[in-house]
Amino acid sequence: MYGDRLPWHRRVQFEAAHQILRSFHQLVNRLPFWEHGLGTPTVTRIQCRHSPLAGRRAVQISDLHLDRYLPRHDTILRRIGGLRPDWIFVTGDLLDSASGIPHLLRFLSRLRQLAPVFLTLGNHDHHSGVPVGLLAALADSHKLQLLVNQAVFVPLASGELGIIGLDDPSTHRADRRCIPPRVAGRFTVLLAHAPNVLDLLEARDAVDLILCGHSHGGQWRFPSIRPFWLPYGCRGRAEGHYIQNGHRLYINRGLGWSFLPIRWNCPPEIVLIEWVEAKPSRSRPKRNPA
């Protein structure tokens, strides 16, 4: 169930924490509509240089925790539709319990009408009580691509887009052996739920952009103070850009909530990736013949 490197005390800690959280989420989801700070997602633009993909765009969303479908989910869909993505990436924590399946599928089916959808799993998906096999079958029947330590390739007129989906790094399920070797003309996006994926990768891994979530941006933020809550697997990384070993990571604050349906000074986020032409390589000045 967990990766081999997860110590036993962490397993006990995760199981206990998720049992409590799952019951709590189910309880809150029975209450009448009550949320704060989850209504209007901001849109963050990321630019990537790769000529075969110039003019193409993708949207990344994360941490849906979609156990009940609310009006704000229609707002999110409208917002994403307005961005006209060619592909949509969802980096885990899709739901918290099995009762969320019809709500999640309602959202994802509508998302699929906008563009092809690629999904990875987060820690909450694994602790939801929904078997991964069932999630994979549901994804299949709804024409969604669930990637669990898998890679797919989208051919382009010249070159291709590689999309790798790692299983959840925060529970040590990610297996970097699924990362294919570098190929000329390919741009590779790696989707993984938690920011500690950056510590798993080696400099030689052929990855151009890593997208993840998990942190919720800290969820409750106060001016001039570092986030006081970040889940295991963030290693102090809360949101935005990070570079390590030559790998570029972006952490999305996500769209949902943990513990309480409140986000404070930490709005939900949609990330738009836009590809532009690569910079022309500088040719060496010619030497004058002697």
Query: What is the contact surface with Fe ion in residues (CB under 5 A)?
Result: 63, 93
Encoded amino acid at 25, one letter: H
Residue 63 or 205: the one with the smaller Cβ distance to Fe ion is: 63
Residue 21 or 154: the one with the smaller Cβ distance to Fe ion is: 21
Residue 17 or 151: the one with the smaller Cβ distance to Fe ion is: 17
Residue 145 or 252: the one with the smaller Cβ distance to Fe ion is: 252
Q: How far is the CB of 56 from Fe ion (least distance, A)?
A: 28
Question: Taking the CB of residue 131, how many other CB atoms lie within 10 A of it?
Answer: 11
Structure tokens at 45: 């633009």
Q: Can you tell me the distance from the alpha carbon of 135 to that of 11, in angstroms, rounded to the nearest whole number?
A: 22
Phi, psi of 87 (to 5 degrees): -145, 155
Give the H/E segment covering residue 22.
helix 8-30
Residues 6+ apart with CB under 8 A from 224: none
Q: How far is the CB of 232 from Fe ion (least distance, A)?
A: 12
Of 253, 189, 244, nearest to 219 by C-alpha is: 253
Q: Can you tell me the distance from the alpha carbon of 112 to that of 163, in angstroms, rounded to the nearest whole number?
A: 17
Q: How far is the CB of 110 from Fe ion (least distance, A)?
A: 21
Angle at 116 between CA 110 and CA 120, to 5 degrees: 90
Question: Taking the CB of residue 40, how many other CB atoms lie within 10 A of it?
Answer: 11
Q: How far is the CB of 93 from Fe ion (least distance, A)?
A: 4
Q: Can you tell me the distance from the alpha carbon of 12 to that of 25, in angstroms, rounded to the nearest whole number?
A: 20
* DSSP H helices in 68-220: 71-82, 101-112, 123-126, 132-141, 197-200
Q: How far is the CB of 282 from Fe ion (least distance, A)?
A: 43
Of 73, 104, 122, nearest to 270 by C-alpha is: 73
Residue 93 or 269: the one with the smaller Cβ distance to Fe ion is: 93
Residue 161 or 198: the one with the smaller Cβ distance to Fe ion is: 198
Give the H/E segment covering residue 57.
strand 57-61
Residue 116 or 231: the one with the smaller Cβ distance to Fe ion is: 231
Cα distance between the two ends of the chain: 70
Residue 84 or 228: the one with the smaller Cβ distance to Fe ion is: 228
Q: How far is the CB of 55 from Fe ion (least distance, A)?
A: 32
Q: How far is the CB of 84 from Fe ion (least distance, A)?
A: 27
Q: How far is the CB of 12 from Fe ion (least distance, A)?
A: 21
